[in-house]
Amino acid sequence: MDSNPGLNITGTETVIGQGTGADGAVFRTLLDRMSDGVFIARDYRFIFANAALPRMLGYEHDDFVGLGFDAVVAPDFLELWVQRFRQRIGEGEEPPGRYELRFRMKGGRRELPIELNASRVVFDGQRCVLGIVRDMSGRKLAEHALRESEQRFRGTFDQAAVGIALMDLEGRFLRVNPKLCDILGFRASELRALTMETITHPEDVSLDIHPLRCVRNGEQTTYSIEKRLLHKSGTATWARLTISLLLDEMGAPSHFIAVIEDVHDRHLAQTALADSELRHRLLMHNLHAAVLVCAPDARILYGNPEACRILRMDSALLAGRTIAQLGCQFIDPSGEALAPERDLVRRVLASGKEMNDVVVGVRHDDADTLWALVHAYPEFDTQHRLRQIVVMFVDITDRSRLEAERDADRQLKTAALNAITAHVAVLDKRGVIVETNSSWRAFAERGGYTGNMTFVGVNYLDALARCDRDEAPHAEAACEGILSVMLGRSALFQMEYACHAPHERQWFSLKVTPMDPARERVLLSHENITRIKLAEEAVRILANTDALTGLANRRHFFEVAEEEFVRAQRYETPLTVLMADLDHFKRINDHFGHAGGDAVLCGFAIILSSLLRDSDSAGRLGGEEFAVLLPHTALDGARAFAERLMERVAENPPEFDGQPAHYTLSIGIGELMPDCLDFSALLRKADEALYRAKSGGRNRVEYAARPCNDAT
């Protein structure tokens, strides 16, 4: 619209007209500088919008004005939108003015969550709808992130054998696991101050640009590359980086998840492999292995350098031969030579199944026997036709090297377990503890346990069954959950429980997951979530409390009042409600300033709270208006309460800047009567009485006289 709207308030109706003077220009400037969107709607379309609203939805201003509801309002909310639009431009009571919905971004591919405050206005002589739109996407993204955080990182994040990191869209590290710290030599706190770009070798920074752009544009969901990362010592280490994009509930990019595998030692060997699928197989098996790829007729198609070394034959000579034509002898562990029909390729061809961990000797005429651990498997195409047979040899002649690798694996697992702050135990299929981490043992020591600190050999299920009566419900639930994972009924069991001491409140989260497909071992962890629980408790208190006075806020007071109203009706017990208003509060603000006014409100809240019983409730409904709910109290009791309250207020004026801030109260009392259909009706009785108290000179108490359902 080219003209500037002007705003006037006439009686109880908001009237908006076409202002062209200084006032209109100022009003339009204010509208265009608002961060919230503002619109006027009529005839099922948007006829006015400030600068913020089109920008919020990706439109130019002139493109947005004139759009119909169906082009802007998300389909799931369109019917409700139209219904409330009709109610608002019609006669009678307006529908709720504030609610949440979604607007469609330009192009319709995304939807923006918004909070709408709508009201009935008159614009150019016609009844329209004025709306104020607030972008809720930030808050929605935060809520979604909280809901997904547990799912994203549960399980084995901190126990993974590869580095894992959660990054924001600029590549900053938000969370890293211990393995990544081990690969790069940084502490977790140091990595969180860095980005993926700063730890990438300068010559390899450009490798990420194109695939990262494709992921951000939605052309692909993930990518993997090998590049050099900078160790804390300044040296470069090769790593395989897999980046995946996480989307929020609106389909917008939210975070990156990065998996970093240390491939420095075998980087050159992997790059020598031309076949990417074979390279992936080698990576998955994590072996320095010799590889033969054979055709369905048993002829060798390819042998890698390690295979050439073991078989003592050049790769060009390997191609086209069968196992029997290699010029070396294959023997079983007993020393018996394998017949040609028993070589691994022909055995896989005959059975069509893979063969695992077969020990075979390779004997050459002029050398000692080389022993290998062999894994052979068939590969099929998309039509389930045999494509090739892959045979992998691992040289196990040097047993001391193999034992050293096993020891290193055990040490790594132990270090990973001990690095976890949660209390972790590994149970066998009978529930017997076979391993614990240092956190588990330290917790037992702090609790005064004097037995075997490793707990190895203790049946955890039996220990749960011996818990005392107070802990029995949690112990039974934990026992049932552990058994459900052990028996394969559940892939994961998780429960939260309280573990309070006389001088300390604590909460823990129990998680149980299988460690192997056969479920011979299960991993059990107890994580201290006390800080989270206390934070949730603090949030609940903040959500239900008036920030200035510490009393219940309007929403929480009404929740409590509705419950008490239903209870009083069900059991036919008396119930009264007081509405109290501080007289001439504006004078207090004018004289003492808003700080003085706040001190008066806080002082009144303290006096009011001191008079309440445990069953009573009080809340600040807004400004200087308060409400008190008195269950099991008839009119006489409410009258006595009101008189005590007024006496205390008169006797204890708060001081501000050395001056007493005297004030008085006007109080209206409503009593539950049979004609009261809901709490709102009871509150109206008290509010009507309050109005009479203020009209009658203030500093007094009045009582409701009319029935609740009297609409006159």
Euclidean distance between CA atoms 282 and 240, whole angstroms: 13
Euclidean distance between CA atoms 667 and 665, whole angstroms: 6
**Do 507 and 497 meet the contact criterion of CB atoms below 8 Å apart?**
yes
- Quick count: other Cβ atoms within 10 Å of Cβ 277? 11
Best CA proximity match to 188, nearest among 146, 157, 209: 157
Q: Give the CA diameter of the chain.
A: 120
Q: From the candidates 624, 671, 688, 702, give the one annotated as an active-site residue.
A: 624
**Do 453 and 548 meet the contact criterion of CB atoms below 8 Å apart?**
no
Q: In which region does residue 102 sit, left (phi positive, over 0), alpha (psi from -120 to 50) or beta (all else)?
A: beta
Best CA proximity match to 466, nearest among 475, 454, 457, 456: 475
Helix %, strand %, coil % for the chain, to 5?
40, 30, 30
**Do 602 and 593 meet the contact criterion of CB atoms below 8 Å apart?**
no
Encoding tokens for residue 545?
Answer: 């409390």
* Long-range contacts formed by 111-116: CB under 8 A, 24+ apart: 111/74, 111/250, 112/56, 112/57, 112/136, 112/137, 112/250, 113/137, 113/140, 113/250, 114/37
Encoding tokens for residue 518?
Answer: 């056969």
Residue 197 DSSP symbol: T
Q: One-letter amino acid identity for 42?
A: R
Euclidean distance between CA atoms 307 and 313, whole angstroms: 8
- Quick count: other Cβ atoms within 10 Å of Cβ 132? 20
**Residue-wise DSSP of 138-165:** HHHHHHHHHHHHHHHHTTTTTT-SSEEE
Interacting residues of 222 by C-beta distance below 8 A, sequence separation 6+: 215, 242, 243, 244, 245
Interacting residues of 287 by C-beta distance below 8 A, sequence separation 6+: 392, 394
| CA distance to 36, 79, 99, 138, 301, per residue, from 74 (Å) | 19, 10, 14, 18, 58
Burial of 620 (0-12, 13-18, 19+ CB in 10 A): buried
Task: Tell me if residue 111 is catalytic.
Answer: no
Angle value at C-alpha 56, between 55 and 57, nearest 5 degrees: 90
Q: Is 239 helix (H, G, I), strand (E, B) or coil?
A: strand
Encoding tokens for residue 529?
Answer: 């979530």
Across the strands, what pairs with 660?
655
**Residue-wise DSSP of 499-547:** --BTTB--EEEEEEEESSTT-SEEEEEEEE-HHHHHHHHHHHHHHHB-T
Best CA proximity match to 255, nearest among 148, 342, 162: 148
| CA distance to 390, 393, 455, 697, per residue, from 308 (Å) | 15, 11, 50, 107
Return the active site residues: 624
